[in-house]
């Protein structure tokens, strides 16, 4: 007998919000405290306060994890702690719900909490750091990789040719914003691709007074577009007819690069970057009962990349349905699933309990072998189960 998990994942698109309603993300985390501490023996209320404080700290860590790699979070923990993790009162909009405190099998007291976090405040706090301090802190989606390809044709060369000069001028503008420019032709992945095509017409003009013949280069038209490579959506396009001319071809090409570069501002990409959150639907077949389904949900809540998880349904045949939101990931979905989800679950349930059977785009299939550790779900106290199931 085996449990089968089927995951359908897709990027959670950021919804534009009204200026009066700042964007938030819902995050669930677990606070921990040692009930044997001397302080708590004198005042149990202090333990509950510390459980809530720890839950809020972990909620903020998860929110920061949407923009900061886990390794970078650990390396810069003190810096991030001072900038963000001590500011829960302003960054957390509201606590949506919290569980009753309960004693875990690990001897610690636990408290589950779900809260709304202002994503703008998290990003603003990160941006307050100096450029060198935050250069490694912004996720790939927050610091987009952009490829540029511009072709120029004229009456002398005929067919359109790639123009390194025009491309470099556009690249310099993008790099001035701190964005990364990559070479797609060398296999480097890009989040956005800017392509442009300009047409030059060569003509001569003879000065009547001197008889001197001048060659000029006129821009007859140019078009430019930008594609979001994650979705394939053409997010910008522009076509113009022009009568501008220059006495030198290099000047004409440089001017073309400048005009295309002016179409893109620092905010252009920032406004179109999705919050790096993946929303997955999980169907788990074969769980023995509702308690096991609730306990598996608890396992996901304990993972830092998991912002929130909801048990959507359970029936007597053993099918459980979950909706899980993961904070950003570099690389493909299969790699993220294997490293951020399956590895820690296998550490809990026993090596080989979960294996990735297949992954195609946004779909993945995982098999759980209960034989590796049949008692993995373990027994929980009635108070602990009630706290988890009612949360």
Residues 129-142 pLDDT 10s:
554 444 444 444 45
Least confident of 21-25, 52-56, 259-263, 335-339: 21-25
14 or 383: which leads in pLDDT: 383
What pLDDT does residue 33 have? Answer: 93
Measured between alpha carbons, how far is residue 357 from residues 5, 226, 293, 317 in Å? 10, 36, 21, 23
The mean pLDDT value of the chain amounts to 78
pLDDT tens, residue by residue, 220-266:
888 999 998 877 888 888 888 887 888 888 898 898 888 888 888 76
Least confident of 45-54, 216-225, 281-290: 281-290
What pLDDT does residue 46 have? Answer: 93
370: its two tokens:
């209960």
CA distance linking residue 284 with residue 322, whole number of Å: 8
pLDDT tens, residue by residue, 103-119:
988 889 999 999 998 87
pLDDT tens, residue by residue, 62-82:
887 776 655 555 555 566 666
| Residue bearing tokens 């202002």 | 118
Where along the chain do its domains lie? 3-12+20-130+274-390, 145-270
Least confident of 116-120, 138-142, 286-290, 309-313: 138-142
What pLDDT does residue 7 have? Answer: 46
Share of the chain above pLDDT 70, in %: 74
What pLDDT does residue 134 have? Answer: 47
The mean pLDDT of 55-60, rounded to a whole number, is: 89
Q: Which CATH class is domain 145-270?
A: alpha beta
């Amino acid at each position: 007998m085996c449990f089968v998990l089927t995951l359908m994942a897709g990027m959670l698109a950021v919804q534009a919000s009204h200026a009066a309603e700042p964007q938030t993300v819902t995050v669930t985390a677990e606070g921990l405290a040692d009930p044997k501490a001397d302080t708590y023996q004198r005042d149990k209320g202090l333990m509950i306060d510390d459980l809530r404080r720890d839950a809020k700290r972990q909620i903020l860590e998860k929110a920061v994890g949407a923009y900061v790699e886990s390794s970078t979070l650990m390396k810069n923990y003190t810096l991030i702690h001072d900038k963000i993790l001590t500011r829960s009162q302003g960054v957390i909009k509201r606590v949506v719900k919290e569980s009753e405190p309960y004693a875990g099998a690990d001897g610690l007291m636990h408290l589950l909490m779900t809260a709304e976090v202002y994503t703008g405040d998290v990003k603003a706090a990160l941006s307050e750091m100096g450029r060198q301090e935050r250069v490694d802190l912004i996720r790939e989606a927050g610091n987009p990789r952009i490829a540029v390809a511009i072709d120029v044709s004229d009456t002398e060369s005929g067919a359109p040719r790639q123009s390194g000069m025009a491309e470099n001028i556009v690249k310099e503008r993008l790099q001035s914003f701190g964005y990364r420019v990559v070479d797609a032709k060398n296999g480097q992945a890009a989040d956005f691709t800017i392509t442009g095509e300009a047409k030059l017409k060569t003509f001569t003009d003879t000065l009547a007074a001197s008889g001197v013949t001048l060659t000029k280069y006129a821009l007859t038209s140019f078009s430019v577009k930008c594609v979001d490579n994650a979705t394939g959506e053409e997010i910008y396009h522009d076509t113009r007819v022009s009568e501008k001319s220059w006495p030198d071809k290099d000047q004409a090409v440089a001017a073309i690069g400048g005009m295309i570069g002016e179409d893109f501002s620092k905010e252009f990409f920032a406004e179109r970057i999705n919050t790096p959150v993946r929303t997955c639907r999980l169907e788990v077949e074969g769980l023995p009962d509702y308690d096991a389904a609730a306990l598996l949900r608890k396992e996901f809540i304990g993972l830092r990349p998991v912002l929130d998880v909801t048990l959507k349904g359970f029936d007597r045949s053993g099918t459980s349905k979950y909706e899980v939101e993961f904070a950003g990931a570099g690389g493909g979905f299969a790699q993220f699933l294997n490293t951020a989800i399956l590895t820690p679950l296998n550490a809990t349930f026993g090596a080989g309990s979960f294996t990735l059977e297949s992954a195609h785009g946004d779909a993945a299939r995982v098999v759980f072998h209960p034989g590796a550790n049949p008692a993995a779900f373990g027994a929980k106290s009635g108070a602990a189960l009630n706290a988890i199931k009612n949360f």
